[in-house]
Amino acid sequence: MSRPTGFPCPRRLPRPRTLRARLTVGLVVLLAVSCAAVGLAAVVELNGFLTQRLDEQLAQVGTRFPESLEHKGLLPDDHDGDEHGDTRRMATGTFGARLLDGTVTNKGLIRSGDPSADLAVTLTAQDAGRLAEVPVDGRAHTVELSALHDYRVVASAGRDGDVLIVGLPLEPVEATVHRLELVAGAVFGLALVATGVAGAFWVRWSLRPLSRVAATATRVSELPLASGEVALPPRAPDSDPHSEVGQVAGAFNRMLGHVEDALTKRHAGEERLRRFAADASHELRTPVASVRGHAELALLHPGPVPPEVTRALERITAESSRMGEMVDDLLLLARLDAGRPLERHPVDLTHLVLDAVTDARAAGPEHRWTLDLPEDPVTVTGDTHRLHQVLANLLANARVHTPVGTKVTVTLETGTDMALLSVHDDGPGVPEAVQPDVFERFTRAEHRRRADAPGGGAGLGLSIVAAVVEAHGGTVGLESAPGSTTFTVRLPAPGVSTG
């Protein structure tokens, strides 16, 4: 069902978000419901009690006053000394009426302490009809009279076939009940305000251990848990283990203990793996170089060598050279993982780009190489050799993984305290399944490699790019789709433009 146009949509009351606010609001709401129940019960009970007292007073008044109205307003004296029959003892506001055949024949109202002072009262036809509808059962009933408001009346049968009605006003009862409502509302309102303030402080104090747990969890979430050895913050303070907050704090501290043990074991395993990779790479450099040297020496032999042996020696030389490069890459990654500092001096990034593209053009003349450089040189602080390696690996990746004739564009831009280097090609793109792990070690997309590429690498080129860029405080990213692949390197450059 659609809402009619022209009517504003009602706004929902904001819900409390924090546990502290919910507990405080819940406490105030429960107290408000309790106060309302107590106040309603008190008002109903007081109204019933006062109405019952008024009914008892009506029973004491009897029909003396309406009977006296038959004597043209003259009240007979009670010579017998009957205290209950003396109309002079009637309360102010006492109403009396005599009805005959449903018609009011006489009526009167005592307006002061002297019943003979003023008996005149005016009733409308509607008032007369309401009086005629009062059951003649000797019991009290409530009647609303236009001139006198609410009255409690009793109708009794007279001796002449008439009906005698006597009534007392409900105004004192209503005034008393209304006063009780005002007093109860004021008292309960103050109680709710005081309870809300005190409850908020009490809940805040009770939940302090939980706040400490949340603060500790926040500090843990801000730690670089994925990078090496991490010292966890102090545990959350212990609380009463029998309380829910204390149980949460204890469980959280035990969880932190398990996390710290797992991180310690993982860090120890990574350290052992780094040492093994570094030691193995270092030890392999000598025998690989020796194999390569012996193969080159055998190729220089002056005597006749069978073609098969020459081909085998050439393959040994090529593969040992490739193995030597892989060993060097592994050793570099191990050093970067160990956090060994790189050289730090000004590097002309524009000059590095020119040299790297020149080398790439010589290695892949079948590709189309283009440059987009700013007018002023771009200078960054870092290691010249390693940054050149980053450029060489990105360009080699574009050359090896794209077909002949692919256009490769190298762009260098400057931003706010940043130098942006991008390598874009219009090749087939990086497979979507490989993109999330493209900077991981030994990640290879063999079905995208050129058929004539000589064996390719070991999947370490882009991982070296990511490690070197990260060691320089920068970032590297990839955006790839069929027909468009862009690697973007961002490096901090305090002096972006130095013309």
Same domain, 24 and 116: yes
Within a domain: 498 = no
Same domain, 64 and 180: yes
In the predicted structure, residue 422 carries a pLDDT above the cut 60: yes
Same domain, 327 and 349: no
Average pLDDT over residues 161-187: 90
Average pLDDT over residues 465-474: 88
Same domain, 243 and 350: no
CATH assignment at residue 417: 3.30.565.10
* End residue of a domain, out of 289, 311, 340: 340
* End residue of a domain, out of 340, 369, 398: 340
* Residues contacting residue 475 through CB under 8 Å, at least 6 positions apart: 469, 489, 490
pLDDT at 268: 72
Within a domain: 446 = yes
Q: Which domain holds residue 26?
A: 16-75+86-206
More confident residue, 317 or 95: 95
H-state helical runs in 300-421:
307-337, 349-363, 384-400
Same domain, 242 and 255: yes
Average pLDDT over residues 361-375: 90
Within a domain: 5 = no
Within a domain: 403 = yes
Same domain, 322 and 441: no
Same domain, 152 and 50: yes
What global pTM score does this model have? 0.47
Local confidence band at 408 (pLDDT 50, 70, 90 cut-offs) = very high
The shares of helix, strand and coil residues in the chain, as percent rounded to the nearest 5, are 50, 15, 35
Same domain, 201 and 331: no
Within a domain: 8 = no
pLDDT at 246: 75
Same domain, 162 and 232: no
Same domain, 373 and 413: yes
User: What is the total count of domains within the chain?
Assistant: 3
The per-residue pLDDT for range 79-125, each reduced to its tens digit, is: 344 443 455 567 788 888 888 888 888 888 887 655 554 567 788 88
DSSP string covering 10-70 = PPPPPPP-SHHHHHHHHHHHHHHHHHHHHHHHHHHHHHHHHHHHHHHHHHHHTTHHHHHGG
Same domain, 380 and 317: no
Mean per-residue pLDDT of the chain: 78
Within a domain: 24 = yes
Same domain, 246 and 387: no
* End residue of a domain, out of 308, 324, 340: 340
Within a domain: 359 = yes
From residue 333, give the alpha-carbon distance in Å to each of 228, 262, 329, 392, 470: 15, 24, 6, 16, 12
CATH assignment at residue 290: 1.10.287
Within a domain: 270 = yes
